[in-house]
Amino acid sequence: MERTLILAKPDAVQRGLVGDIIARLERRGLQIVALKLMRVTPALAHEHYKEHQGKPFFAGLIDYITSCPIVAMVVQGPRAVDVARSTIGATDPAAAAPGTIRGDLGLTVGRNLVHGSDSPASAAREVALFFRPDELLDYARSSDTWISEN
């Protein structure tokens, strides 16, 4: 069982695509363990994207991710990092396969809708940037009693 950080970025929120993005991840079988609408501060944006510092697109990336609220979530499941990234699709939506989030809903790399951590180590680092430990709620999955008793 793995966990990964997913961000529905400002363009996803502005375009009203958050529900579609969550639905695709849920239908794949990933389970939401944390979820919130939030604003990304410049400090958080710099920390989150620090591997890209110095690249030509860095300033634009920071402006973009801080421009409007995002929806941050943590999902879990077997191989959640790779499973989420394959559902998200290639970084450049123009090159992303149809059937993926970016391939179905996006067109340009600067507005590619969603973030997914790229490794279990990145996921651990990024989840801790966006969520306190007590915000991660684990609960029984696919339990008949959980459904029938409520």
Residues with catalytic roles: 115
Judged by beta carbon, residue 16 or residue 56, the one nearer ligand DAT is 56
The listed partner (ligand DAT, Mg ion, none) that binds 76, CB under 5 to 8 Å by sort, is none
- Contacts of 80 by beta carbon, 8 Å cutoff, 6+ apart: 1, 2, 3, 4, 30, 123
Judged by beta carbon, residue 28 or residue 49, the one nearer ligand DAT is 49
**Cα pseudo-dihedral 105, 54, 72, 116, rounded to 10:** 60
- The DSSP output letter for 56 is T
Q: Which of 14, 91, 119, 143 binds ligand DAT (CB under 6 A)?
A: 91
Return the range that interacts with Mg ion (CB under 5 A); candidates 18-26, 55-63, 66-74, 116-124: 116-124
Cα(8)–Cα(114) distance, integer angstroms: 5
Judged by beta carbon, residue 59 or residue 140, the one nearer Mg ion is 59
The listed partner (ligand DAT, Mg ion, none) that binds 20, CB under 5 to 8 Å by sort, is none
Please give the angle made by the CA atoms of 38, 44 and 45, to the nearest 5 degrees. Answer: 95
Residues of this chain that interact with ligand DAT (CB under 6 A) are: 52, 57, 61, 91, 109-110, 112, 115, 118
